[in-house]
């Protein structure tokens, strides 16, 4: 921007305020500036005065020509212009852009020169964005990276992808490329990705090597697939019944399926005694297989089951997917290397559980923390008897704990980690990526041997240290995958990391953008970083652009979805601008105020599950209930789900911004610092101007409005009046329904007892997988049976359901909002998105708000450039179709 302004100035004539443009782009802070802030302040001031000065210059066409007839003026113009062009050209060169702005011969017109400047601006701003991302601690790996040698067709290579001249940095090995041409693997998935804002439920339905059988919830498809709308009772009651039934399974649903087996895992004596390291075979002499068919996978599983150990690694892609995709699995035995195309075999991978959960087989990983979660998330795979060489490296206190280091240290192999961040979705996999991937596991068993020996040596032949590594490894295999859950608090967590003091409007914008981004990312199955990188979100929030164009200007390069929905975004920014302007002490202190309020019926399906919410609830922040503080419950580092499920029942979080909150928590004040007290008093002195619009159920103000002033403002400005009436009507309705529901509770408890009984019976009947596998080996096999039944059921059922959903009037009724906690089931979305028209039901549909907007702003057309195939598959929960054309592997 700065340089394009200078450019304008240059074109219109002389000016001498360009001297700071150099500083602007200089990565090194000039002396005399305390810090970056001081520098930026100075820079902005200078740019501002430059702009002012240029605007004051005689305009082309009038006085300018006159002035220019004076040789002195002309000369001055010439020299100043040259100076300016020189400066610009230097900046461009510095950034590796085309820079012959000054060369009058090479460029014919002003236009071309202007394009050059615009291009350079883009490149520079793109860089700035990346650096800001880095500074923000955003993982750069989110950008797709491909190996230098790999050239996919028609790749857009920006000039900044070229090696930085003379920078000599190691990063020149990396090439950041737009992975535009990689087909979305998600489109081929048999079981569609579940991005709903609901907790993750294990994907397991058969449990090999079980000591404790798999709970009926997982084995009984009936229970798993049952949804409230399948019950032939009014919606509110159906929800209630369903909630009750689900409650029974909650513990099972969120437990680690192999908890028991892992708890009872004993490390065998042999594994605690000193091994003779078995040298790896040279890679060139090692048989390599690329596994991308079910037959090969089954054969591999057979082979693995006969091993006493094998090494495993995964490659992962996270940029063009909301949850991430495990894209490759590498397995090495002492004799062979395998690479499994896990994008192709995603729904079949679970058969490896037989080897992966066999306690007699050691699985060696390096740094398995993520792998364990990815295995669960994508394949329902678990690991029993893990050895993590990263943990061993720590125990040995090696200089570094990376795999490269271990490879160097134990095998004198120089690994080429630059492929680590490659776009692992690429198919066919280029040779160099295959090579790289193999290296990740090929040497691992030898390293495992060496490390065990060293761990014993280090500890005077005592197994304590080695045992410790086994234990740590076991802890890792006990990790549970938790889906990112969006809560009303989520944006604050991120905002706090930005360390920027936002005022109320900026904070509101940040919150709305955050919600928009999350919603869209889930819907389109893209990472949030792809939808709208955090630094751009910051910039938009900071600047609160008045025009849609201003939003575009905050983003460089403009993310496709931002471009597409710029009108929606603009509405959000406008909405934020309507907030009363206050300096917001980020609600940090408010966080403390987590107060136990009431026990939610099924906390797991908290208010943020908007699956059953009506359209009005799909405002970015439903003004309905207090948020359950779910963020920590389901966050990555939280694994004690069971305990927390209970805790969370009582945890409700209050609002963050309390502009119109009536002074009800006086006692809070005692612990507030002076400044905050002051602020609080000022805030309290505000009379809520919208009080008259609020439903009078509460003594002071509506509890809805109280907790989210911004949404209140929004509603008032848009449709509050209408809604509050609607709301009251709904409340009335809901009350009625609750009454009905209560009357039928007796029926429910009967139902429950039945389910309990059937559950207990089914427990008795559950065979261990060994048994199941044995049975399957006998002929036909349980799997096939299962498939047969699935297929048999699946064909008539959906059509029946479709009809039902189309016919049943209760489905289109707005669901009651207050009396029940909306809940959701990751698999429950079949008919809603399977082409049925009952879009307005049950499932969290982040799209809905967007549709609202698009209706209003007639922005529909913009959506049209979503190719159907490009659309997210997220909610097509579809048939799991684990369909086998094959038997369960024979043993």
Number of residues counted as binding Zn ion (CB under 5 A): 2
The answer for 108, left when phi > 0, alpha when psi is -120 to 50, beta otherwise, is alpha
Q: Which window, 76-84, 279-287, 436-444, 628-636, contacts Zn ion (CB under 5 A)? A: 436-444
* Contact between 315 and Mn ion per CB under 5 A: no
Residues 347 and 9: their CA atoms lie apart, in Å, by 61
- Give the contact letters, 256-295, x = binds to Mn ion (CB under 5 A), - = no: ----------------------------------------
Q: Residue 69 half-sphere exposure, CB side, CA atoms within 13 Å?
A: 5
- Give the contact letters, 382-421, x = binds to Zn ion (CB under 5 A), - = no: ----------------------------------------
Residues 400 and 28: their CA atoms lie apart, in Å, by 31
Strands 175-176 and 325-332 turn out to be unpaired
User: Which partner, Zn ion, Mn ion, ligand AMP, none, binds residue 487 by CB below 5 to 8 Å per kind?
Assistant: none
Residue 249 or 479: which CB sits closer to ligand AMP? 479
Residue number of the CB atom closest to Zn ion: 440
The minimum distance between CB 369 and ligand AMP, in angstroms, equals 10
User: Which partner, Zn ion, ligand AMP, Mn ion, none, binds residue 316 by CB below 5 to 8 Å per kind?
Assistant: ligand AMP
Measured in degrees and rounded to the nearest 5, phi and psi for residue 348 equal: -105, -10
Q: Which residue has the tokens 């599983």?
A: 301
Residues 585 and 445: their CA atoms lie apart, in Å, by 54
325 in helix, strand or coil?
strand
The minimum distance between CB 315 and Zn ion, in angstroms, equals 5
Q: 557 preceded by cis ω (within 30°)?
A: yes
The minimum distance between CB 349 and ligand AMP, in angstroms, equals 16
Q: Which residue has the tokens 């698009």?
A: 854
Residue 451 or 694: which CB sits closer to ligand AMP? 451
The minimum distance between CB 864 and ligand AMP, in angstroms, equals 33
The answer for 150, left when phi > 0, alpha when psi is -120 to 50, beta otherwise, is beta
- Pick the closest to residue 355 from 300, 296, 301, 298 (CA basis): 301
The minimum distance between CB 638 and Mn ion, in angstroms, equals 22
Number of residues counted as binding Mn ion (CB under 5 A): 1
Please classify residue 392 by burial: count the beta carbons closer than 10 Å to its beta carbon, then call 0-12 exposed, 13-18 middle and 19+ buried.
buried
CA of residue 80 relative to chain centroid, distance: 50
* Residue from 133, 226, 239, 313 in contact with Mn ion (CB under 5 A): 313
Q: Which window, 204-212, 310-318, 389-397, 555-563, contacts Mn ion (CB under 5 A)? A: 310-318
User: Which partner, Mn ion, ligand AMP, Zn ion, none, binds residue 753 by CB below 5 to 8 Å per kind?
Assistant: none
Residue 313 or 845: which CB sits closer to Mn ion? 313
Residue 359 or 367: which CB sits closer to ligand AMP? 367
- Pick the closest to residue 850 from 521, 488, 553 (CA basis): 521
Residue 403 or 619: which CB sits closer to ligand AMP? 403
Residue 189 or 424: which CB sits closer to ligand AMP? 424
User: Which partner, Mn ion, Zn ion, ligand AMP, none, binds residue 821 by CB below 5 to 8 Å per kind?
Assistant: none
The minimum distance between CB 439 and Mn ion, in angstroms, equals 12
Q: How far apart are the first and last CA of the chain?
A: 68
The minimum distance between CB 138 and Zn ion, in angstroms, equals 22
Q: Which two tokens stand for residue 303?
A: 């082979």
The minimum distance between CB 142 and Mn ion, in angstroms, equals 17
User: Which partner, Mn ion, ligand AMP, Zn ion, none, binds residue 217 by CB below 5 to 8 Å per kind?
Assistant: none
Q: Which two tokens stand for residue 577?
A: 């601008």
- Pick the closest to residue 679 from 657, 701, 710 (CA basis): 657
Residue number of the CB atom closest to Mn ion: 313
Residue 313 or 358: which CB sits closer to Mn ion? 313
Residues 208 and 358: their CA atoms lie apart, in Å, by 8
Q: Which residue has the tokens 């004539």?
A: 13
CA of residue 774 relative to chain centroid, distance: 41
Residue 440 or 845: which CB sits closer to ligand AMP? 440
* Residues in CB range of 304: below 8 A, 6 or more apart: 310, 331, 333, 352, 355, 361
Residues 360 and 381: their CA atoms lie apart, in Å, by 17
- The residues in 490-549 that bind Zn ion, with binding defined as CB under 5 A, are none
Q: Which window, 291-299, 386-394, 433-441, 650-658, contacts Zn ion (CB under 5 A)? A: 433-441
- Give the contact letters, 401-420, x = binds to Mn ion (CB under 5 A), - = no: --------------------
- Pick the closest to residue 704 from 718, 720, 680 (CA basis): 720
User: Which partner, ligand AMP, Zn ion, Mn ion, none, binds residue 141 by CB below 5 to 8 Å per kind?
Assistant: ligand AMP
The minimum distance between CB 589 and Zn ion, in angstroms, equals 43
693 in helix, strand or coil?
helix
Residue number of the CB atom closest to ligand AMP: 141
Burial 629-649 (b: 16+ CB within 10 A, else e): bbbbbbeeeebebeebbeebb
User: Which partner, Mn ion, Zn ion, ligand AMP, none, binds residue 876 by CB below 5 to 8 Å per kind?
Assistant: none
Q: In sequence order, what are the beta bridge partners of 652?
A: 595, 628
Residue 382 or 510: which CB sits closer to Mn ion? 382
* Contact between 440 and Zn ion per CB under 5 A: yes
Residue 316 or 377: which CB sits closer to ligand AMP? 316
Residue 92 or 476: which CB sits closer to Mn ion? 476
* Contact between 388 and Mn ion per CB under 5 A: no
Long-range contacts of 826-829 (CB under 8 A, 24+ apart): 826/194, 826/196, 826/198, 826/200, 826/201, 826/877, 827/194, 827/224, 827/225, 827/877, 828/225, 828/227, 828/877, 829/194, 829/196, 829/875, 829/876, 829/877
The minimum distance between CB 468 and Mn ion, in angstroms, equals 21
* Residues in CB range of 858: below 8 A, 6 or more apart: none
Alpha-carbon radius of gyration of the chain: 31
- Pick the closest to residue 500 from 886, 168, 135, 873 (CA basis): 135
User: Which partner, ligand AMP, Zn ion, Mn ion, none, binds residue 24 by CB below 5 to 8 Å per kind?
Assistant: none
The minimum distance between CB 474 and Zn ion, in angstroms, equals 22
- The residues in 817-876 that bind Zn ion, with binding defined as CB under 5 A, are none
The minimum distance between CB 350 and Mn ion, in angstroms, equals 20
The minimum distance between CB 293 and Mn ion, in angstroms, equals 24
Residue 434 or 573: which CB sits closer to Zn ion? 434
Q: 428 preceded by cis ω (within 30°)?
A: yes
Q: Which stretches of the chain bind ligand AMP, using CB under 6 A?
A: 139, 141, 313-316, 367, 420-421, 424, 440
User: Which partner, Mn ion, ligand AMP, Zn ion, none, binds residue 548 by CB below 5 to 8 Å per kind?
Assistant: none
Give the number of other CB atoms < 10 A from CB of residue 754.
Answer: 11
The minimum distance between CB 7 and Mn ion, in angstroms, equals 48
- The residues in 292-331 that bind Zn ion, with binding defined as CB under 5 A, are 313
The minimum distance between CB 480 and ligand AMP, in angstroms, equals 19
Q: Which window, 2-10, 311-319, 415-423, 667-675, contacts Mn ion (CB under 5 A)? A: 311-319
Residue 207 or 316: which CB sits closer to Zn ion? 316
Residues 83 and 448: their CA atoms lie apart, in Å, by 64
The minimum distance between CB 849 and ligand AMP, in angstroms, equals 31
Binding site for Mn ion (CB under 5 A): 313
Binding site for Zn ion (CB under 5 A): 313, 440
């Amino acid at each position: 921007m700065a340089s394009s302004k200078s450019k304008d100035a240059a074109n219109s004539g002389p000016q001498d305020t360009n001297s700071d443009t150099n500083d602007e782009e200089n990565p090194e802070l000039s002396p005399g500036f305390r810090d970056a802030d001081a520098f930026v302040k100075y820079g902005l001031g200078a740019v501002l005065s430059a702009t002012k000065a240029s605007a004051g210059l005689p305009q082309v066409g009038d006085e300018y020509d006159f002035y220019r007839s004076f040789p002195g003026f002309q000369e001055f113009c010439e020299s100043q212009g040259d100076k300016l062009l020189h400066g610009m050209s230097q900046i461009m060169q510095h950034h590796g852009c085309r820079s012959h702005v000054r060369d009058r011969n090479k460029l014919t017109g002003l236009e071309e020169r202007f394009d050059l400047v615009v291009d350079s601006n883009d490149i520079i701003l793109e860089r700035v964005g990346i650096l800001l991302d880095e500074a923000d601690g955003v993982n750069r790996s989110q950008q797709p990276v491909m190996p230098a040698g790999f050239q996919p067709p028609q790749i857009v290579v920006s000039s900044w992808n070229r090696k930085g001249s003379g920078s000599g940095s190691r990063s020149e090995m990396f090439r950041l490329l737009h992975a535009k041409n990689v087909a979305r693997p998600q489109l081929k998935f048999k079981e569609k990705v579940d991005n709903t804002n609901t907790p993750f439920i294990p994907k397991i339905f058969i449990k090999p090597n079980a000591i404790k059988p798999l709970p009926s919830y997982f084995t009984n498809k009936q229970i798993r697939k049952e949804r409230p709308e399948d019950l032939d009772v009014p919606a509110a009651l159906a929800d209630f019944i369903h909630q009750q039934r689900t409650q029974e399974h909650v513990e099972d649903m969120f437990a680690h399926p192999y908890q028991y087996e892992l708890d009872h895992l004993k490390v065998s004596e042999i594994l605690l005694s000193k091994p003779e390291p078995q040298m790896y075979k040279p890679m060139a002499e090692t048989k390599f297989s690329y596994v991308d068919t079910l037959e090969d996978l089954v054969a591999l599983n057979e082979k693995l089951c006969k091993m006493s150990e094998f090494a495993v690694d995964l490659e992962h892609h996270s940029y063009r997917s909301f949850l991430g995709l495990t894209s490759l699995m590498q397995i090495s035995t002492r004799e062979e290397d395998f690479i499994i195309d896990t994008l192709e075999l995603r729904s079949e991978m679970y058969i490896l559980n037989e080897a992966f959960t066999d306690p007699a087989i050691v699985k060696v990983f390096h740094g398995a923390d993520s792998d364990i979660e990815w295995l669960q998330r994508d394949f329902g795979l678990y690991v029993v008897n893990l050895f993590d060489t990263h943990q061993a490296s720590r125990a040995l206190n090696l200089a570094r704990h990376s795999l490269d280091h271990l490879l160097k240290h134990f095998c004198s192999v120089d690994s080429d980690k630059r492929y680590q961040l490659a776009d692992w979705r690429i198919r066919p996999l280029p040779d160099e990526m295959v090579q790289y991937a193999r290296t990740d596991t090929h040497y691992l068993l030898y390293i495992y041997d060496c490390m065990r020996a060293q761990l014993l040596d280090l500890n005077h032949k005592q197994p304590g240290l080695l045992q410790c590594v086994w234990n740590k490894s076991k802890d890792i295999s006990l990790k549970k995958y938790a889906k990112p859950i969006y809560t009303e608090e989520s944006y604050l967590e991120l905002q706090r990391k930005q360390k920027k003091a936002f005022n109320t409007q900026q904070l509101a914008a940040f919150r709305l953008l955050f919600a928009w981004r999350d919603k869209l990312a889930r819907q389109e199955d893209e990472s949030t970083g792809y939808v709208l990188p955090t630094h751009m979100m910051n910039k938009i929030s900071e600047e609160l652009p008045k025009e849609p164009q201003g939003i575009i200007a905050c983003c460089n390069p403009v993310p496709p979805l931002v471009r597409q929905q710029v009108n929606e975004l603009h509405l959000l920014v406008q909405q934020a601008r309507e907030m009363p302007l206050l300096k917001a002490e980020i609600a940090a202190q408010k966080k403390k105020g987590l107060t136990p309020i009431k026990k939610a019926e099924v906390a797991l399906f908290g208010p943020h599950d908007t699956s059953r919410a009506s359209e009005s609830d799909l405002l970015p922040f439903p003004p309905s209930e207090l948020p359950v503080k779910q963020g920590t419950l389901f966050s990555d580092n939280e694994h004690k789900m069971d305990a927390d499920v209970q805790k969370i029942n009582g945890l409700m979080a209050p609002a963050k911004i309390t502009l119109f909150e009536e002074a009800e928590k006086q006692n809070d004040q005692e612990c507030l610092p002076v400044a905050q007290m002051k602020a609080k008093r000022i805030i309290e002195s505000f009379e809520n101007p919208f009080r008259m619009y609020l439903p009078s159920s509460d003594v002071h103000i509506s509890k809805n409005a109280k907790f989210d002033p911004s949404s209140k403002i929004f509603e008032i400005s848009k449709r509050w009046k209408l809604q509050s009436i609607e709301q009251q009507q709904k409340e009335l309705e809901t009350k009625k329904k609750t009454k009905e529901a209560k009357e039928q509770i007796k029926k429910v408890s009967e139902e429950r007892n039945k389910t309990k009984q059937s559950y207990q019976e089914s427990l008795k009947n559950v065979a261990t997988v060994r048994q199941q596998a044995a049975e399957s080996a006998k002929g036909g096999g349980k799997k096939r049976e299962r498939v047969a039944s699935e297929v048999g059921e699946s064909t008539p059922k959906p059509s029946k359901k479709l009809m039902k959903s189309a016919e049943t009037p209760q489905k289109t009724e707005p669901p009651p909002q207050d009396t029940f906690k909306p809940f959701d089931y990751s698999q429950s979305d079949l008919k809603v998105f399977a082409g049925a028209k009952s879009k307005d039901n049950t499932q969290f549909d982040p799209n809905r708000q967007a549709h609202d907007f698009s209706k209003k702003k007639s922005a529909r057309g913009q959506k049209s450039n979503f190719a159907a195939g490009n659309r997210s598959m997220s909610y097509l929960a579809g048939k799991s179709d684990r369909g086998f054309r094959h038997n369960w592997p024979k043993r």
